[in-house]
């Protein structure tokens, strides 16, 4: 196999580029390796270093090891020089490719982030409207339930109960999340300690040196099932919205 050898300044090491061919405007090689003499030097340095990496017995051994370290450092410098010089032409091309593409990619990332922010804002507004409508329907359901208690006419009483159940059903339907095509919208909660002395009275499972998210999530689900407010002493509950685009 023919070898294309490159001699570089500051080092006698050389690389061989084997079986090169053009591919996509740039040459590719089946293998890149040190030429035989350079590989032999590497093996000699490694062997000498392994021989010296043993228990010392006297000052002479100490001097030999110090010299070995100097040789290792010099050879590492040669390897680094070879690496940098061989990579330099490719690094220049790569930097040109990045200069052409990265600014566009960065703008796209920023625009995606900005769009998601607007989507989150819209979802927050929509959810606020849903909450208000749900509360309105639940209030009407409660009114009908109260009316049923004080109406003596059985027909009107049944009608009030039916109206209350209908409002309750409509409130559940309104509260059910509706996602746009290709977009998942979900609500998540963050918990922050607003008053540490008060928060310290909560169980240790909830807070030690810091609050435990999973404990609050479990308690939140229990409270929501019982239609209880999400309130804990010394804790601020923050409702947030995320957007995930497929």
Q: How many domains does the chain have?
A: 2
The answer to whether residues 98 and 191 belong to one domain is no
Whether 208 shows a pLDDT value over 80: the answer reads no
Comparing C-alpha atoms, which of 89, 86, 52, 92 is closest to residue 68?
Answer: 52
15-24's contacts with Cβ under 8 Å and 24+ in sequence apart are 15/82, 15/86
- Is the Cβ–Cβ distance between 187 and 240 less than 8 Å? yes
pLDDT at 245: 53
Whether 3 shows a pLDDT value over 60: the answer reads no
Whether 221 shows a pLDDT value over 60: the answer reads yes
pLDDT tens-digit map of 115-136: 888 888 887 888 888 888 888 8
In a domain, 103, yes or no: yes
Q: How far apart are CA 19 and CA 31, in angstroms?
A: 7
pLDDT at 5: 46
Write out the two tokens for 244.
């995930």
- The mean pLDDT of 201-227, rounded to a whole number, is 85
pLDDT at 147: 85
Whether 238 shows a pLDDT value over 90: the answer reads no
**β-strand pairing of 26-34 with 14-23:** antiparallel
State the sign of the Cα–Cα–Cα–Cα dihedral 159, 161, 163, 165.
negative
- Determine the angle formed by the axes of helices 59-150 and 154-175, rounding to 10 degrees: 160
In a domain, 68, yes or no: yes
Question: Which is more confidently placed, 47 or 189?
Answer: 47
Mean model confidence pLDDT for the chain = 81
Find the domain containing 188 and state its range.
Answer: 181-246
pLDDT at 6: 47
In a domain, 201, yes or no: yes
- The mean pLDDT of 172-182, rounded to a whole number, is 72
Q: Among 87, 110, 133, identify where a domain stops.
A: 110
In a domain, 165, yes or no: no
pLDDT at 183: 67
In the block, tokens 């359901």 appear at 141
Q: How far apart are CA 132 and CA 151, in angstroms?
A: 29
Q: Among 83, 110, 137, identify where a domain stops.
A: 110
Residue 180 carries which DSSP code? P
Q: What is the DSSP string of 111-164?
A: HHHHHHHHHHHHHHHHHHHHHHHHHHHHHHHHHHHHHHHH---HHHHHHHHHHH
Question: Which is more confidently placed, 186 or 59?
Answer: 59
The pTM assigned to this predicted structure is 0.44
Share of the chain above pLDDT 70, in %: 86
In a domain, 176, yes or no: no
Whether 190 shows a pLDDT value over 60: the answer reads yes
pLDDT tens-digit map of 127-172: 888 888 888 888 988 888 888 888 888 888 888 888 888 988 888 8
Q: How far apart are CA 218 and CA 230, in angstroms?
A: 12
Comparing C-alpha atoms, which of 46, 92, 93 is closest to residue 72?
Answer: 46
In a domain, 45, yes or no: yes
Query: pLDDT band at 222, cuts 50/70/90?
Result: very high
Q: How far is CA 121 from the centre of its chain?
A: 22
In a domain, 122, yes or no: no
Rg of the chain on CA atoms, in Å: 37
In a domain, 145, yes or no: no
Whether 70 shows a pLDDT value over 80: the answer reads yes
Q: Among 63, 86, 110, identify where a domain stops.
A: 110
User: What 3-state DSSP class applies to 232?
Assistant: coil
């Amino acid at each position: 196999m023919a070898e294309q050898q490159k001699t570089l300044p500051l080092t006698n090491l050389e690389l061989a580029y084997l079986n090169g061919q053009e591919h996509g405007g740039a040459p590719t090689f089946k293998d890149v390796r040190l030429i035989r003499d350079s590989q032999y030097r590497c093996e000699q340095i490694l062997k000498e270093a392994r021989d010296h990496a043993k228990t010392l017995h006297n000052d002479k051994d100490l001097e030999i090891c110090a010299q070995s370290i100097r040789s290792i450092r010099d050879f590492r410098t040669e390897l680094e020089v070879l690496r940098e010089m061989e990579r330099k032409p490719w690094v220049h091309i790569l930097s040109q490719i990045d200069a052409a593409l990265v600014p566009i990619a960065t703008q796209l990332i920023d625009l995606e982030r900005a769009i998601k922010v607007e989507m989150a804002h819209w979802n927050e507004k929509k959810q606020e409207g849903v909450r208000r409508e749900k509360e309105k329907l639940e209030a009407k359901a409660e009114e009908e339930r109260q009316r049923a208690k004080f109406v003596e006419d059985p027909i009107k009483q049944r009608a009030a109960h039916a109206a209350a159940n209908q409002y309750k059903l409509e409130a559940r339907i309104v509260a059910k999340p509706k996602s746009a095509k290709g977009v998942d919208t979900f609500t998540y909660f963050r918990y922050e300690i607003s008053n540490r002395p008060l928060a310290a009275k909560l169980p240790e499972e909830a807070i030690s040196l810091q609050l435990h998210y999973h404990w609050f999530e479990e308690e939140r689900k229990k409270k929501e099932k019982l239609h209880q407010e999400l309130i804990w002493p010394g804790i601020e509950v923050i409702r947030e919205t995320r957007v995930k685009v497929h």
